[in-house]
Structure 1
Amino acid sequence: MSGLRELKKRRTYEAISDAAVGLFLERGFDAVSVAEVAAAAEVSKPTLFRYFPAKEDLALYRFADHEDESARVVRAGRAEGLGALDALERHLLERLAARDPITGLCDEAGVLAYQRMLYGTPSLEARLFTYLRRSEAALAGVLGEGVRARLAAGQIGVVLRVLALENWRRIEAGESAEAVYAGAVAEAREAFRQLREGLEV
């Protein structure tokens, strides 16, 4: 029964977020009120706020699934006998090959429109860092304890963000994902080489 409740809850999250993102892309994030999102999603405002405490969370829900992704990748890699950086690099290269939007290497029109909204709205960029901090905290918990683990997680998080932003900027400037791919792979490999020279995790 709890499994069905969780599925229903997840679908409600997705339905509300999808309705919100549709409105935000159509009219702009700042031009849409929470009341309009609630009406479009056919829920009350109190219900909406139970699921999404802040308006920005409506737009950023799709990042929620990625919050513990790096931590999960490291755990799975260690089960295979891989070090943390090896597991994370392999995962990033796989995601680049799949043109995963989280890597910035995706030139689908809908993804680009969403990213323009995200990086063009200061309040969304600021809120995104809340998600990124939680992601780094989860990764630090897997890497070890204390300041050293937090520093390592922070450095890895910065590398992943910088690589994704660079890919997005090139595509936003007019290049195709296919044209950017080889350079993105080379930059990812170089970034992880630099991490290995400075980190032992």
Structure 2
Amino acid sequence: MGEIGLRERKKQRMYQAVSDIAIGLFLEKGFDAVSVAEVAAVAEISKPTLFRYFPAKEDLVLHRFADHEDEPARVAASGPAPLAALRRNFLDGLERCDPVTGLNDAPGVLAFHRLLYGTPSLAARLHAYVERSEAALAEALGGDLDARLAACQIIAVQRVLALENWRRIAEGESAEEVRADAVAAAERAFAQLGAGLPRFA
């Protein structure tokens, strides 16, 4: 048991280290200007080993979203009122400036977002992560058609809220300047979801 845990932790550290190296290179030179071979060389691993961890070049960047992929599903499954739990989780994220909410003006986070949304292949690959997140949430909400429709709306609302926060910060406002509007917008959006999705409220 302990050995499996240790192996898993080592694997996670390897994922993190290689992803961090790759993101550093992409931020410095541009995503398309850096080859997978260059990432492998700097990380001091072979190309086949790198591809064992990251099946596609884009996954080197999107690894940062891996932990968040099933977060909505975990949160929704945590109590009898999924929407209330998801609302609380999003507001808590705004409170701690979680980059996933878009309300974070740290230079490194802004540079990462510019890389992500400014690279077409990364933005396209992110869509697959969003779809998996949606599918997991739908399952947590019951798996039927109503659950799938609700999951689609909830994930879309969270994404649009985060993109609006990021857009304003990218245009020069600070996280503190955006915070009050971000909280008000989230409250409004979740109230509308609650009104439209009473089964999950």
Matches for 1:4-153 after TM superposition, within 5 Å: 4-76=6-78, 78=79, 81=80, 83-153=81-151
Distance 1:120 1:43 in 2: 28
Distance 1:6 1:99 in 2: 29
Q: What CA deviation, in whole Å up to 9, does each residue of 1:167-199 have, x standing for no partner?
A: 000000100000000000000000001101111
Runs of 4+ in 1 over 3 A off after TM superposition: none
RMSD (Å), alpha carbons: 0.7
Runs of 5+ unmatched residues, structure 2: none
- SS of match in other structure, 1:26: helix
What is the letter of the counterpart of residue 21 of structure 1? I
Deviation for aligned residue 1:117: 0.6
Aligned to 2:174: 176
Q: Taking structure 1 as the reference length, what is the TM-score of the superposition? A: 0.97
Q: What CA deviation, in whole Å up to 9, does each residue of 1:88-143 have, x standing for no partner?
A: 00011111010010000000000000000101001000000111111111111110
User: Sequence identity of aligned pairs in percent?
Assistant: 66
Deviation for aligned residue 1:61: 0.4
- SS of match in other structure, 1:55: coil
Deviation for aligned residue 1:74: 1.4
